[in-house]
Amino acid sequence: MGRRTKIIQYAAALLMALAAILGGLFGGPAAAAKDGADEGDPLAPDVEVFTGRGFDTCEAPSLGAMSAWRKSQYRAVGVYIGGRGRACKQQVNLGPRWVRSVHDEGWSILPLYVGSQSPCVHSGSKQNVIIDAEPWYQGAEEGRDAVLSAVALGMRENSPIYLDMEAYDRHDPECADTTLSFVQGWSNEVRRQGFLPGFYSSSTSGVRHMDSMRASGVQDLPEIMWFARWDIPGSVEDEPSLADDAWTPHRRIHQYAGNVTEEYGGVTMKIDRNMVDAPVAVID
């Protein structure tokens, strides 16, 4: 083999190695990953699953309120850990001490991240945080931010992070494609960082959109589905927007009531009710 040929092959090998390193650091739209419909139970041994009733509320309650609500039927709590679309930005109670304390008290934690929203989002309050012109890369960037937020609160790898994508017009092709690309970038990055990408949305918009993409063989989808369908009994089964074998087992949450007021132990809160059979935060 000539010296010139050897130099060319050596240079090519260096370029391939560099590409692999950069790909691992930054990911890319072409990176493949499993979707939410794997057969069997692919969850890692260190994943913690909670099955039962939970609630979520805009601002993390005080430690005293969480102790009082041990008298309730709920044992899981959804908290909003970050994202530029988060409604209650001043989370005065939420911090590593809060997370550790409620976990030690027997609560399971469902971390929610409200990032950029679909360009065709229905909610007027989310119009100022829509996805930009590079949705996949923006999704990946916000996925990294979501993981940093979770780690800062003491949550470890194999914890889920649920991307809150409010209801949008999935019938608008351009908007649906933009939203999907953002979700894929976000999910890919969260998964690459060792966390589980989850997805929250309305059953008839975002959730139905994700399931149609799953059925089409699209990759880089979220691994857990949190669907909002109110005013019916709570159940993770028989959801019309999801195929029977999609996001199972232990990969579903049903938000079955919203903006309801309840009181336990002398403490009143306005909450959303959830039936949970899904991963929860692993606390450091």
pLDDT of residue 108: 98
Question: How many C-beta neighbours within 10 Å does residue 209 have?
Answer: 24
Interval 209-250: pLDDT, tens: 999 999 999 999 999 999 999 999 999 999 999 999 999 999
pLDDT tens for each residue of 262-274: 999 999 999 999 9
Q: Global pTM?
A: 0.86
Instruction: Give a three-class secondary structure readout of 63-121.
Output: HHHHHHHHHCCCCEEEEEEECCCCCCCCCCCCCHHHHHHHHHCCCEEEEEECCCECCCE
Q: What's the pLDDT tens digit per position in 123-160? A: 999 999 999 999 999 999 999 999 999 999 999 999 99
pLDDT digits over 17-47, tens only?
333 333 333 344 333 333 333 334 568 889 9
Which amino acid type is present at position 246? A
pLDDT number for residue 44: 84
Structure-block tokens of residue 218: 């699209």
